[in-house]
Amino acid sequence: MAYDEGLAQRIREIFEQQDNIAAEIIEKKMFGGLAFMLSGNMCVGIVDETLMARVGPEQYEDALQHPHAREMDFTGKPLKGFIYVDAEGIVDDSDLQEWITRCMTFADSLPAK
């Protein structure tokens, strides 16, 4: 499975700062990369150097307007509510934090699995 271990570590550090959910984060290999699950729901992930962001259907169109964001078409068909953020869009830790916060908000709104 190919994923950027440096990006994975940056994501881990952001989750570790979230005292209220840090214990609920589980890493799981999926989508050919690494996914971070929050209460059993996919929150964010990594394929190669690309961030997979689960923003949810209501935030989908808005998320696609951000620089370096694009449809997640892993299966050849876009997955509504999921986007890819290219490496250029998460160079700064503040940008990565913003995406993770957005994804945590959505994942936290789902029932725990």
What's 46's domain CATH number? Answer: 3.30.1460
Condensed to tens digits (0 to 9), the pLDDT of residues 1-59 reads 689 999 999 999 999 998 877 678 999 998 789 999 999 999 999 999 999 999 999 99
Domains contained in the chain, number? 1
Say how far apart CA 19 and CA 10 lie, in whole Å: 16
* DSSP assignments along 29-85, one per residue: EETTEEEEEETTEEEEEEEBTEEEEE--TTTHHHHHTSTTEEE--TTSS--TTEEEE
* pTM of the predicted model over 0.85: yes
Backbone angles phi, psi at 15, to 5 degrees: -65, -40
